[in-house]
Structure 1
Amino acid sequence: MIALQQVGPDPACGAGEERTPQLSWENLPAGTRSLALIMFDPDGGKGIGVVHWVAYNIDPEQDGLKAGTAGLSGQYVTVGRNSRGTLSYRGPCPPAGDNPHHYALTLIATDLPLGTLPEGLDRSGLLQLLQGHALGAQSLVGRYGH
């Protein structure tokens, strides 16, 4: 259902330029009306986890998102709050000296019409509103370190 076209840490890791990866998907479940994405690092935050990206209201008629196009809300996506509380993408970039971190990117197909979900959701708020509306999900996990 989902494929990552860019693998590895953000090339601008530590430089303040956070670029979303290029993503593509196919074979979405029947009845899919919108998509949501969550990128979560369970190793970050001293083991309690770090949310790097919350994105939703994504049109399933698109076959993916181009690199660097979904870091902020716009025509094709609503970006929610990451663990820093900002409405932006936070690329994979574990602290120097840490063991490699695992980054789970989950695509969720929903039966919710585009634009149904409000702006400003964090991961838990999004998951709460998706209860009973998820048609399927698939995750990819990458492991990155310095």
Structure 2
Amino acid sequence: MSRRGWILAAALAALFGTHEAFAAGGFAVTSSTFKDGERLPQKAAGNNKSNPNCVGESVSPQFTLLNPPEGTRSFALLMFDPEGRPPGGVSHLVAYGIPASVTSFAEGELSRPSDKFIGGIGTAKLSVYTGPCTPPGAPHHYIFTWIATDLDPKALKQGMTRDEVIKALDGHPKGATGIIGTFSHS
């Protein structure tokens, strides 16, 4: 892992503290698809057949949210690869307007439109999960950030980008948690 990667991982661990939050009964996310800090399975990789780096099926991971903060009305989920397409990174998923009653997603559920979330626009201009198409070399880090908000699930318009969602959420987070997966082209 590069120095930048270690710094990023340490900063995210300090910010989110998933393991510690889970142990203390705080807001946390788990996945049966992969463990925090470990490699995503190949089926989670992208499936664009015209790109030789897309070696998977673009199946979104499973997620379970635990202990959302009091007053949570909705969640947002942002999946981001900071090493992809330097210098801006790659936004693989922008999902928001997730009602507080929705605390889990099955594998593949974020890979298709659903009434459980509003699909924003990622780097690939899609409104659903798009798996990694990591080039050969060092693994990239895929950061899944879950944000609990005090916003009504229908408060934000459809088709927002990651940056637009972040701006719209200013002043509305109740808490955040995250999980990081890695992937490299094998």
Identity %: 37
Kindly indicate whether the alpha-carbon contact (under 8 Å) linking 1:81 and 1:87 is maintained by their aligned counterparts in 2: yes
Normalized per residue, the structure richer in strand is 1
Structure 1 pair 10–88 and aligned structure 2 pair: CA distance change class (3 A):
farther
Q: Distance in 1 between matches of 2:132 and 2:64?
A: 19
Deviates more, 1:64-73 or 1:121-130: 64-73
Kindly indicate whether the alpha-carbon contact (under 8 Å) linking 1:9 and 1:92 is maintained by their aligned counterparts in 2: no
Deviation at 1:12, TM superposition (A): 5.8
Match of 2:110, SS? coil
Find out whether 1:81 has 2:113 as its counterpart.
Answer: no
Superposed counterparts of 1:33-52, under 5 Å: 33-52=73-92
Find out whether 1:15 has 2:54 as its counterpart.
Answer: no
Q: Distance in 1 between matches of 2:75 and 2:46?
A: 29
Query: Unaligned regions of 5+ residues in structure 1, if any?
Result: none
Match of 2:111, SS? coil
Normalized per residue, the structure richer in helix is 2
Alignment partner, residue 61 of structure 1 = 101
* Partner AA of 1:46 in structure 2: P
> Structure 2-normalised TM-score?
0.73
Q: How large is the RMSD of aligned CA atoms in angstroms?
A: 1.6
Following superposition, which runs of at least 4 residues in structure 1 exceed 6 angstroms of deviation?
A: none
Find out whether 1:2 has 2:41 as its counterpart.
Answer: no
Q: Distance in 2 between matches of 1:100 and 1:25?
A: 26
Q: Distance in 2 between matches of 1:109 and 1:14?
A: 27
Structure number, greater radius of gyration = 2
Query: Unaligned regions of 5+ residues in structure 2, if any?
Result: 1-27, 35-39, 49-56
Superposed counterparts of 1:90-105, under 5 Å: 90-95=130-135, 97-105=136-144
Structure 1 pair 144–47 and aligned structure 2 pair: CA distance change class (3 A):
farther
Find out whether 1:123 has 2:168 as its counterpart.
Answer: no
Match of 1:45, SS? coil
Kindly indicate whether the alpha-carbon contact (under 8 Å) linking 1:81 and 1:123 is maintained by their aligned counterparts in 2: yes
Deviates more, 1:11-20 or 1:21-30: 11-20
> Structure 1-normalised TM-score?
0.91
Alignment partner, residue 66 of structure 2 = 26
Aligned length: 145
